[in-house]
């Protein structure tokens, strides 16, 4: 259960960083259109990162389960 909480905390941390960067760019004078254009172009990167994250933790969990047995 603690592992699930840790993963959830990491996900929220990532979300907060992304939202913060968007707001920061808007405050620095980058127009909203430019920010959204940037996001539209790079949204597949979020899928790649999410997939790598799931793969990494899945392999890590499997190795921990094998050690317990």
Give me the pLDDT at residue 11, please: 76
What are the b/e assignments for 31-67, b being 16+ CB within 10 Å?
eeeebeeeeeeeeeeeeeeeeeeeeeeeeeeeeeeee
Note the pLDDT tens digit of each residue in 8-46. Answer: 767 777 877 887 777 777 777 766 666 677 777 777 787
* Spatial separation of the C-alpha atoms in residues 4 and 43, rounded to whole Å: 25
Q: What is the pLDDT of residues 44-57, one digit of tens each?
A: 787 788 788 888 88
Q: Are 35 and 26 in contact (CB under 8 A)?
A: yes
């Amino acid at each position: 259960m603690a592992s699930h909480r840790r993963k959830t905390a990491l996900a929220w941390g990532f979300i907060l960083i992304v939202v913060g960067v968007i707001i920061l760019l808007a405050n620095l004078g980058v127009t909203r259109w430019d920010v959204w254009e940037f996001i539209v172009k790079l949204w597949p990167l979020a899928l790649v990162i999410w997939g790598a994250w799931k793969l990494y933790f899945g392999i890590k969990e499997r190795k921990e389960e094998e050690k317990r047995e």
